[in-house]
Amino acid sequence: MVTFTVEDHDGNRQDIEAPDDMGLSLMEVLKASEYPVLATCGGMALCATCHVEVLEGKNGLGEATDIELDQLEALPEYFPSSRLACQIRISEELDGAVIKLRGEDN
């Protein structure tokens, strides 16, 4: 199990614990935790509605793919630490990270 912190659109932070042996994405865990993540494309990096900002722990997550960067760069708000939650796998590298929700809050 890994534990990371999620900051919602209102600035509230909550620790989330997730299994790191099931191949889940951060997007799936956020949706299961009932955060307002649209994830319109279902995790294929085509819509960017699962946009998050990695406030702490970015170095361990690896680099964004070209497809992911294409989607992120098209957003009105794009940060150097922006990622798509669907492209981040739950793994020990995520342990201790702080993730801020940035996608549409619908």
Residue-by-residue pLDDT tens, the chain, 106 positions: 999 999 999 999 999 999 999 999 999 999 999 999 988 888 888 888 999 999 999 887 888 999 999 999 999 989 999 999 999 999 999 999 999 999 765 4
Residue 70: the pLDDT is: 93
Residue 85 lies in a domain: yes
Q: What is the residue range of 49's domain?
A: 2-101
Residue 105: the pLDDT is: 54
CATH of the domain at 54: 3.10.20.30
Residue 106 lies in a domain: no
How deeply is 57 buried, as exposed, middle or buried, from its count of CB atoms within 10 A (0-12, 13-18, 19+)? middle
Residue 23 lies in a domain: yes
Residue 73 lies in a domain: yes
Q: How far apart are alpha carbons 32 and 80 in whole angstroms?
A: 27
Residue 18 lies in a domain: yes
Best CA proximity match to 103, nearest among 76, 80, 81? 76
The order of strands in the sheet holding 13-18 is 13-18, 2-7, 98-101, 51-56, 82-84
Which residue, chain included where needed, has tokens 């939650």? 85
Residue 11 lies in a domain: yes
What's the domain count of the chain? 1
Confirm if 67 and 93 have CB atoms less than 8 A apart: no
